Amino acid sequence: MSWWKNPKRTKFGKFLDKEGITQMDFADRSGVSRNTVWRLCNVKGYIPTPVVLRKVMRAVIKIDHRKDFHDFFDI
């Protein structure tokens, strides 16, 4: 999905696009399902469970240590 501009991408989806990481690669890195990563990237109102959020943020911090969950989610 990173090869075109999708205006409906969430902040998280835009972050993955900017970093050049596919949803499938991120799913493998984080240990969450591809369906969950798709929701994180495309469903604006999606709020992950605390367990999923922890896995996602551990993987995000390995990519960019300055990122916080508030950068992606309105929790």
pLDDT digits (tens, 9 = 90+) for 32-72: 999 999 999 999 999 999 999 999 999 999 999 999 999 99
The enclosing domain of 57 has a CATH number of 1.10.260.40
With beta carbons less than 8 A apart as the criterion, state whether 22 and 37 touch. Answer: no
Nearest of 74, 72, 75 to residue 9 by alpha carbon: 72
Does the pLDDT value for residue 4 go beyond 80? no
In this structure, how many other beta carbons lie within 10 angstroms of the beta carbon of residue 4? 6
Who wins on pLDDT, 8 or 71?
71
Q: Note the pTM of the prediction, 2 decimals.
A: 0.86
Specify the number of domains making up the chain: 1
SS3 content of the chain, % helix, strand, coil (to 5): 55, 0, 45
Q: Is the pLDDT of residue 8 over 80?
A: yes
Asked whether residue 5 is assigned to any structural domain, the reply reads: no
Residue 25 resides in a domain = yes
Per the structure, the complete domain to which residue 58 belongs is given by 11-71
Residue 15 is assigned to a structural domain of this protein: yes
Residue 63: inside a domain: yes
